[in-house]
Amino acid sequence: MTHTERILELLYDRKDGAFLLDELAGAAGLDAAGVAAALDELRRRGHKLELSPSHGVRLVGPVRPDARLIEHGLGTRRIGRSVICFDTVDSTSDVAFDSARQGGTDGLVVLAESQRHGRGRLGRQWISPPGANLLFSVLLTDAAPPGEALTIAAGLAVAEGIESACGLACRVRWPNDVLLDGGKVAGVLVEVRRRARRRCVVLGIGINANAHPPPEHVGRPATSLAAHLSGAADRIEVVRAVLRQLDLRVRQAAAGELDELHSGWLARCDMINERITVWSRGRRYVGRVSDVDPLAGLILFDDDGRRIHLPAEHSTVIEG
């Protein structure tokens, strides 16, 4: 860990409290010049600091996500053992796939403050103003579970993580929407590609933490965590909570513990018995939702009583 990272960690752990400069120097094992250099470096990295002669120095929130603050004490086995944060990339999912060729390890998390070409499912754009939200991707290279199960696992983990970090009750909507009060607050995009002769899976996750696009951009009501909180959402707390839940849910998917995923998903899903219309592989299906299966996808009974399995990858709910 560098001196700058140590100082950042100390300031972050004190939350809204301040550190006298001498106290900070003592805690970090630095002299005054070392502390000053570290504080300059933090400002260059985009952190906001408040300095006062009587109170000392304080990190002004909401704090910008930083790899060290995300990894620190995370306690996961697979997801987030290593984290990289960028200012701007084309898409965090592209960076994650590219990193698989360059030694990127299983569980790597790539996060960015903004994306030039953020993508959603079925060729849609994912729009997010710089520095407001959570845009990140997780690379899985070792024994990655089937995409269908990962879509369920990731959506569930996002809902659970948001709930544990912010106390907001999220629902899930097949295949990949996480909802708060009926508005879309997060989405998951699972993609599979071959890289360096391995099957690599990238889970791309977008969470509207502090801003959300207008409905005309996304075709359905969207919302943000901040719209349901009294202030800005702490993006670091949210991403850490989501990574912890992802670690658990991906492990269950990989171990074939599908009953756990199934019951967790159904407990947060209001679609059972709902009459919906789904577009899948160029065909329109209308029917009542009977189940969401972590391997088969959506199970629908059409008006003639036929049981239809619709995979997440090629399907979209267009009504209902």
Window 122 to 161, contacts with ligand BTN (CB under 6 A): 124, 126, 135-137
Q: Are strands 109-115 and 83-89 parallel, antiparallel or unpaired?
A: parallel
List 47, 119, 173, 240, residue binding ligand BTN (CB under 6 A): 119
What is the crossing angle of helices 32-44 and 21-28, to 10°? 90
- If one asks whether residue 187 binds ligand BTN (CB under 6 A), the answer comes out as yes
Stretch that binds ligand BTN, among 19-27, 56-64, 113-121, 268-276 (CB under 6 A): 113-121
Q: Can you tell me which of 176, 224, 245, 252 binds ligand BTN, judged by CB under 6 A?
A: 176
**Of 37-96, which residues contact ligand BTN (CB under 6 A)?**
91-93
Nearest to 114 by CA among 139, 137, 135: 135
Whichever of 123 and 305 has its CB closer to ligand BTN, that residue is 123
Q: Which is nearer to ligand BTN, 92 or 141 (CB)?
A: 92
Question: Which contiguous run of DSSP H or E holds residue 137?
Answer: strand 134-140
Nearer to ligand BTN by C-beta: 24 or 203?
203
- DSSP letters, 171-227, are EEETTTEEEETTEEEEEEEEEEEEETTEEEEEEEEEE-SS----HHHHSS-B--SGG
Establish if 173 lies at the interface with ligand BTN (CB under 6 A). no
**Shortest Å, Cβ 262 to ligand BTN:** 21
The answer to whether 118 contacts ligand BTN (rule: CB under 6 A) is: yes
Distances (CA, A) of 150 to 111, 135, 138, 184, 215: 19, 18, 11, 19, 27
DSSP string computed for 148-172: HHHHHHHHHHHHHHHHHHH----EE
Q: Is 204 in the site for ligand BTN (CB under 6 A)?
A: yes
* Shorter beta-carbon distance to ligand BTN: residue 128 or 141: 128
Binding residues vs ligand BTN (CB under 6 A):
91-93, 115, 118-121, 124, 126, 135-137, 176, 187-189, 204-206
